[in-house]
Structure 1
Amino acid sequence: MSMPGKNSFSPPMLSFASLNAAPHEFYRELRPEFPFVQREDGAFLVLRANDVQALVSDPRTRQVETELARARGISGGPVMELISNSLLFSNGDTHRRRRQPLSRCFAFRMMDGLRPNVRSLAEELVTLKLCDGEMKLRDDYAAAIPAITIAGILGIPRCDVPLFTQLAYRVSKILTTSWTRDDLPDIEAAINELSSYISSIIDDRRKRPRPDFLSDYVANIDETAEMSALEAVMQIVSVVLGGTDTTRAAIVVMIGLLVDRQGSSWSSLRNQPQMVAAAVSESLRFEPSVASIPRLAIQDIHLDGYVIPRGSPVLLSTMSALRDPDVYVEPDNFNLMRPMGKWHPVFGGGEHRCLGEALARIEMEEALAALLNSRLDLDLGDQQLRVHGHAGIRQVDELLIRWR
């Protein structure tokens, strides 16, 4: 790959296609020479772990609101309605106002109380497939655990899970790097359908409250009158998006990585179940399902002699940072014994740290534990784990796992 020298006026500018083709290879080659690269849409990808960690809560940046969407030619419609009204893309008082009604429900202590339910669900899903001798890892297992769990939290009927998850997967494509203009009509239709579905459930809880999260949520927003009807719907849409697609991919990645290493990692985990949490952390580091954290530079930012200009969209590449050899020893090796801090960088930082972090960890741990406890000899055959995307939410291909 041809790159400009250190004394050039700007870092490399790369296309979506080239970045998506082999992101780890690009980051490995570019990171020692350049603190960031520029993408064809003008966004800057920050590559080094120390810079990523510092900028996630740097006052010279703020959360991206509508800037990335506008850079890709979106100026209105359902996508802009979602982005403009979601806590995911807001700052300051607006973000706190939108996040507050959700925060108590997703607190670590509250989520830990759900662990037995998640464990039972994972064990149930494994048992259902035992006689088949095989299972679609993504669609039969990894998709069901977060979807059914978030449905239970929100009080959504389990029979509706296939409907709202299918819509969520279509909507979440806008948060990836794999969509094109041709995808927009389907994404917009899915946003409209999912928003209408959530709106109908909110209306039902307003008329017929029950002892569940959504009833409390409706009562809170009605009492405080701090959110519009559209905002109230879009926060729940955001919860559904955050609680389904990213964890689905993370579970597939984790189990795919471990089963591919049956000779070492899998047997180690069977004999040391206390290391399940370490396996979750290492899989999130090695192949994260969320590859970057979006920010906007509100001042010029100088990094190693280069400048990210004020007003530029910035993508803090956790995917690159989590394999930075300046922070991680032998970063391209999958190592269950690797020490990781309490706060995993993949979940972001500051006031925008992932609301569902505790839940995602629990779902990944219990998904792994259920398969380990089954004592099945899992096999991927000649399949390979395939994860797509260099920023935002990444997509993962199906994996068929078999056992004897």
Structure 2
Amino acid sequence: MTTSAELIEMSERRSAHNYHPLPVVIHEAHGAWVTDVEGKRYLDCLSGYSSLNFGHGHPKIIEAARNQLDNLTLTSRAFYHDQFAQFCAGLGDLTGKDLVLPMNTGAEAVETAIKVARKWGYEVKGVEPDQANIIVMEGNFHGRTTTIVSFSTDPEAHDNFGPYTPGFRLVPYGSTEAIRRAVDPNTVAVLVEPIQGEAGVLVPPDGYLSEIRELCSAQGILMIADEVQSGLGRTGQTFACDYEGVVPDIYVLGKALGGGVVPVSAIAANRDVLGIIQPGQHGSTFGGNPLACAVGIAVIELLNTGEFQARAAKLGEVLHARLRELIGKGVVEVRGRGLWAGVDIDPELATGREVSKALMARSVLAKDTHGSTIRLAPPIVVSEEDLVWAVNQLADALYELDTA
């Protein structure tokens, strides 16, 4: 058997170093638990950055994928296929929108929303050619394409990838007044994460999303909500926007939409917005493919029960209550909503990566971000006992680091 050390060495030698993984090599997974090549089990508290909201190998999702594999996997959008209509109708009903445009990855969905907003601005709002601007937030993470990193404030994502795409106005996250000051006659959209995930699971002030919605409606601007990480049950609601009763003009969705099986993303909007896209103006060979749609249909059916949203809300209360007990014991601050938490570690005690490695030694997988922050986002199928056990491992790891 090839060992973890050998596989890690080969990976480091033969792959580009665009990630810095923890030194674990996963071989199989079920529910909230994964097993490495040596047979050691770990509780997955990252969930593929919320791609695995329903856990590893959810039976309904796997069954849908397996059945579709026996029938049809790809046609391209040159033809209709028998899974497409149900997927679009189901996702449209889930979001309350008329139309759906399927893609593959979250970054593709964000790029699609940007293109739609600009085209809408020129053809509906009447903005002069090539003058459209979109207001975006400091600390954002919407993907890693050239256009998206053009308005990133993260040096690792942004620097040395220019020349950059113009047409974006950066404002501080959480300030509606800053958005208001940035609006001009050429503004076509506000692009916002209801919770900023990569920035450390930052939850904006109460009323922030409602105020953006009111401002956009008053100014004739599209509100685009990037719910790639925050959507589809993670926060205890179907969408994080639901906490303020806000419905954006465009939903951007991905990650959990593929059920942890295949990449699936989409934007959803009403006909007066998304109807401006005509044949040949945007597309994807694999976007909306039969396998992706079959998996997406299963995901939508799971969400329609409301079971996962309720479970994330209930377990989220347990998670955050237990994490708050660690403030002053190696933890400086805890943020988040539902089964999603950003935990700021005292930088004098350890870095986020050091804590993540200490957790890995205790059979818990989590990931650091921005130096001293770790993110916890276990699959929604995690048991309450396992969830409490994971936080106890964090408490013990912090104690050991403090007394070492």
TM-score, length-scaled by structure 1: 0.28
Tell which has more relative contact order, 1 or 2 (C-alpha 8 A, sep 6+): 1
* More strand, by proportion: 2
* More helix, by proportion: 1
TM-score, length-scaled by structure 2: 0.28
